[in-house]
Amino acid sequence: MNLRPNLPPIPFIDLAAQRRRLGHAVDDAVTRVLNHCQFILGPEVRAFEAEMAAFCGAKHVVTCASGTDALVLGLRALGIGPGDAVICPSFTFCATAEVAALVGATPVFVDVDAATFNIDVKGIPGAVAAAKAAGLTPKALIPVDLFGLPADHAALAAAAKAEGLLILDDAAQAFGASTDNRRLGIFGHATATSFFPAKPLGCYGDGGAVMTDDDALADAMRSLRVHGQGSDKYDNVRIGLASRLDTMQAAVLSEKLKIFPEEIDARDKVARRYGEALADVAIVPSVPAGLTSVWAQYTLRLAAGKRDALAAALKAEGIPTAIYYPIPLHKQQAYKSYPVGQGGVAVSERLAAEVISLPMHAYLDAPTQDRIIDAVRRALKA
């Protein structure tokens, strides 16, 4: 007998619930843009950049067309190019390494820490050595604040200083998260983030931004996003790209930023409940002292081999899951020829076989969460 009648499917991320909460605010903001017709770098872009800077404490915010472009703008402004090595984790979304190759540099992979999923700072000297052995000049480090949790930025700053590396933080999943009450955006030389709809702060299309305290870097990125423009439109001082945040997306983001602190709290409550209810059946994510996460993903670790059965059992009950990431970058066809740090990337390989992410968003109510928790517990205890 089936004691669980067919319940409606649960969304992995519920953008519709957020849209209902925002009410007319977004529609009105978009309508204002439709009426003034300044679709590229209109007043809403400048306003949102100022709001974002106030929110995270960075001196400059330069918005652009995507998180990937934000990383490209950062690397280009930092002067990274052919012959340079850019050290980044293997356990991340492909864009982290992709951007190094896009600017003509070479990604060099370093391992991550199993407890935080973030870059293992101890692996950096081995990655520098591997880069040099490959005839490259180690120039930059792209740590990732994976799944919304800040990397160990104090340790990263020390390691980067010791090795003479620039830091471009990939906070695509973690804008709003903090370290010792300081939000991401102020660590390293520059910080990139993404407003892809599924990120904690998402727009209604593609978008991204780079944050920095460095005036010269900000100027270079503002020029790069408009074809390397100099003093005016027809003065071209560098090879750039066409990468702006649409005015309409800036208008949407200004409205979403207003409710973002409450959403971060709501996400944290969901994560705490998951953690309390599931710690005895899986390895639940932990947040080191002094850090906050914005929970871009809520990711469990299971003994390798148990994951597919859990995903199938949950799917049968209308509960979606996702695997971030099933293949570490050093094993991907596009990236497997790039160097790996001398310490190896064994943890990245192990995590790729163990991780599974549960539905996570700010509007996941307690009854829905209980349904997920109950299903996960039954599947893992069976």
Ligand X SMILES: *Cc1c(COP(=O)(O)O)cnc(C)c1O
Q: How far is the CB of 381 from ligand X (least distance, A)?
A: 32
Region from 165-173, 220-228, 233-241, 328-336 binding ligand X, contact rule CB under 6 A: 165-173
- Is 92 among the residues that bind ligand X (CB under 6 A)? yes
Residue of the chain from 63, 68, 116, 293 that contacts ligand X (CB under 6 A)? 68
Strands 84-89 and 106-110, bridge-based pairing: parallel
- Is 191 among the residues that bind ligand X (CB under 6 A)? no
Question: Which residues ranging from 341 to 360 are in contact with ligand X (CB under 6 A)?
Answer: none
Region from 83-91, 167-175, 217-225, 363-371 binding ligand X, contact rule CB under 6 A: 167-175
User: Cβ neighbours of residue 377 under 8 Å, at least 6 residues apart?
Assistant: 277, 278, 281
Residues 91 and 355 sit within 8 Å (Cβ to Cβ): no
C-beta closer to ligand X: residue 84 or 206: 206
Question: Which residues ranging from 205 to 224 are in contact with ligand X (CB under 6 A)?
Answer: 206, 208
Residue of the chain from 175, 196, 298, 363 that contacts ligand X (CB under 6 A)? 196
Q: How far is the CB of 225 from ligand X (least distance, A)?
A: 14
Q: How far is the CB of 316 from ligand X (least distance, A)?
A: 29
Question: Which residues ranging from 130 to 159 are in contact with ligand X (CB under 6 A)?
Answer: 144
- Is 170 among the residues that bind ligand X (CB under 6 A)? yes
Site track 97-136 with ligand X (rule: CB under 6 A), x = hit: ----------------------------------------
Q: What distance, in Å, lies between the first and last C-alpha atoms of the chain? A: 17
- Give the burial string for 363-373 (b: 16+ CB within 10 Å, else e): bbeeebbebbb
- Is 93 among the residues that bind ligand X (CB under 6 A)? yes
Residues 139 and 80 sit within 8 Å (Cβ to Cβ): yes
Both tokens of residue 341?
């740090």
CB atoms within 10 A of CB 305: 9
Shortest-Cβ-distance residue relative to ligand X: 67
Strands 208-212 and 60-64, bridge-based pairing: antiparallel
C-beta closer to ligand X: residue 76 or 281: 76
Residues 243 and 66 sit within 8 Å (Cβ to Cβ): yes
Residues 13 and 359 sit within 8 Å (Cβ to Cβ): yes
- Is 249 among the residues that bind ligand X (CB under 6 A)? no
Q: How far is the CB of 324 from ligand X (least distance, A)?
A: 8
- Is 67 among the residues that bind ligand X (CB under 6 A)? yes
Q: How far is the CB of 99 from ligand X (least distance, A)?
A: 8
Residue of the chain from 90, 194, 254, 293 that contacts ligand X (CB under 6 A)? 194
Region from 83-91, 150-158, 166-174, 356-364 binding ligand X, contact rule CB under 6 A: 166-174
Residues 95 and 172 sit within 8 Å (Cβ to Cβ): yes
- Is 321 among the residues that bind ligand X (CB under 6 A)? no
Region from 2-10, 65-73, 228-236, 251-259 binding ligand X, contact rule CB under 6 A: 65-73
User: Cβ neighbours of residue 46 under 8 Å, at least 6 residues apart?
Assistant: none
- Is 96 among the residues that bind ligand X (CB under 6 A)? yes
- Is 300 among the residues that bind ligand X (CB under 6 A)? no
- Alpha-carbon distance 165 to 173, whole Å? 23
Residue of the chain from 87, 119, 167, 172 that contacts ligand X (CB under 6 A)? 172
Q: Kindly state the number of chain residues that form the binding site for ligand X, as judged by CB under 6 A.
A: 15
The angle formed by the CA atoms of residues 153, 55 and 215, to the nearest 5 degrees, is 70
Task: Give the residue from 157, 152, 161 showing the smallest Cα distance to 180.
Answer: 152
Helices (H), the chain: 15-22, 25-36, 43-56, 67-77, 95-102, 124-133, 153-163, 215-224, 247-278, 307-316, 346-354, 366-381
C-beta closer to ligand X: residue 121 or 144: 144
- Alpha-carbon distance 6 to 165, whole Å? 55
Q: How far is the CB of 228 from ligand X (least distance, A)?
A: 21
Contact residues toward ligand X (CB under 6 A) are 66-68, 92-93, 95-96, 144, 170, 172-173, 194, 196, 206, 208
